[in-house]
Amino acid sequence: MDEIQLPDFVDEDLTEYYDDPDELLLYEDLEQMDKYGRFFYMFKSCVGPTTFQTVDLIGPLLAMCFILRVVSVLKLPRLLVHFVSFVCGLGALFLFAKKNSVYPLVMSALGYAILFVKNGRKGMIMAITSVTFLIVCELFIVTAENWHQVRGSQMVLVMKLISLAFDLDKDFGWKKMSFMWFLGVIRSCFLSYCCLIISACIAPWIFQEDSFKWFLAYQAAMSFRFSHYFVSFLSESTSLLSGIGTEVNQEGKQSTSWRYDVARPQHIELPRSLVEVVVHWNIPMHVFLKNYVFKKAQPLGRFMAVLLTFALSSLLHGINFQLAAVLISIGTYAYIEHVFRQKLGRIFNACILARKCRPECGHVYSQANFWVIAVNLAFSFLAVFHLAYLGIMFGGDSEVQERGYGMEHTLSKWSHLDFASHWVALGTFIFKRVCRPCGRKLRNAAELYSFIEKAVSVEADEDANCADVAVDRSKRQLPTTITPERSKGKKQLIEIGEESESSAGKGKFEEVLIFR
């Protein structure tokens, strides 16, 4: 749309020229775009309406969270505080789910009853009941459109119930209001709004519709990612506004940090690896799956534990081919990259692992090494490539989004990109397997190179030290008062001393060479 063609005929009354009202609106939009420019028109037509719609939808939710916060810090009976919490939560649920709120309420009632089980199996019983409830509702009771509206709430509720059943011994206390709490709420609200504007208004305008297909794939994936960041920071805002912070230990003292990270965009937009993307995409869910699924499945093997973790994650997100394909794909990619980079780091003794090394890692080549930086950047670009490929199918027709995308939509999007990401992952896996016999040779070559480099540096230091010692001895042997007799005798003495030192140095150098 760089060149906008307007009709040659412009009448004072455009309704006589355009019979179709849609054509009239399109002409007015094109005229506005030609008048204000591409990006100014985008801000005029998108940022304002998006802001007003968001305030209308999110404003009541933030108000209910603030009411709960005020009631919780007052010296009121705990029963009254819990009642206000119940009313505010119910109001927030009806605000977004409306008639579909009945399904989370039924799940809450079932979970509350299971919490009274006294045989020490609360966690396992809660997990089986929750997953069974999700499957039965999605397959047999609720329509696809209705379940899509309530699926996110159900997922968060199930994770909370399962973790609560395992961790009943933990307690929670309300914290007092403070200026840092106020700054934390403002920060999270501001970041949420910025991510919404980028997702809805800026990202769709970065590239033209006829641009390179991989640029368009990155654009669609970027818009989806920032919509996820919007929801994540909004979740943090509501949590902080309700008085939920993060307990940190500073110098042996417990304090409250008014941050509750749900996602960390900096580790996703500029990733070191896909492993970091998986960890920082949804931190509460990552912690839940790590503690209650991955660790309990580790006796089956590391790869099987990873596979079961992502399979359960896809099940919690809903029985949907698109989500299952994306989650299992990214889990497989992350595992292949983790093993491959772990092997490379062991071979070359370098900080090129999937996760950033600690300062005391012991690798010879640290993060500041040029080749280490180059390799890590290459894997970062590879992670961005995979994210563009996996995120392309989350954009499209809004009516289809309400029902959820099926297998045909997913495969058509990936076939448009020639299944490139899957081929690259398969190539990485084959390269890792084929190069296993070569690993020892590469490791020996790297150790030999390191040994030669150290030997050369040691010899250079020894030669420099020997030269400095010889100069010092020569200076000490010079007389203070020079006479012809003393000068002649001292000259002979210096020559003899230099010959003995040179012969001794030569013998020492020959010994070093023999040792090498």
CB 54 within 8 A of CB 200: no
DSSP code of 174? P
Question: CA 326, 328, 330: angle at the middle one, nearest 5?
Answer: 65
The token pair at 358 is: 């600690």
Residue 256: which H helix or E strand, with range?
Answer: strand 253-257
Phi, psi of 71 (to 5 degrees): -65, -35
Q: What distance in Å separates the CA atoms of residue 202 and residue 359, rounded to the nearest whole number?
A: 39
Residue 162: which H helix or E strand, with range?
Answer: helix 144-166
Among the listed residues 148, 280, 317, 386, the single catalytic one is 317
Phi, psi of 249 (to 5 degrees): -105, 110
The residues near 20 (Cβ < 8 Å, ≥ 6 apart) are none
The token pair at 296 is: 């309990």
CB 54 within 8 A of CB 234: no
CB 494 within 8 A of CB 477: yes
The residues near 39 (Cβ < 8 Å, ≥ 6 apart) are 205
Nearest to 107 by CA among 68, 162, 59, 54: 162
User: 317 an active-site residue?
Assistant: yes
| CA 492 to centroid of chain Cα atoms | 75
Residue given tokens 């005229």 in the structure block? 31
Q: Is 2 exposed, middle or buried (0-12, 13-18, 19+ CB in 10 A)?
A: exposed
Nearest to 257 by CA among 247, 271, 267, 265: 247
Does residue 247 sit in helix, strand or coil? strand
DSSP code of 205? G
Does residue 355 sit in helix, strand or coil? coil
Residue given tokens 């042996």 in the structure block? 252
Residue type for position 367: Q
Does residue 248 sit in helix, strand or coil? strand
Q: What distance in Å separates the CA atoms of residue 508 and residue 457, rounded to the nearest whole number?
A: 17
Q: What distance in Å separates the CA atoms of residue 80 and residue 443, rounded to the nearest whole number?
A: 67
Residue given tokens 């996996």 in the structure block? 390
Could you list the active site residues?
317
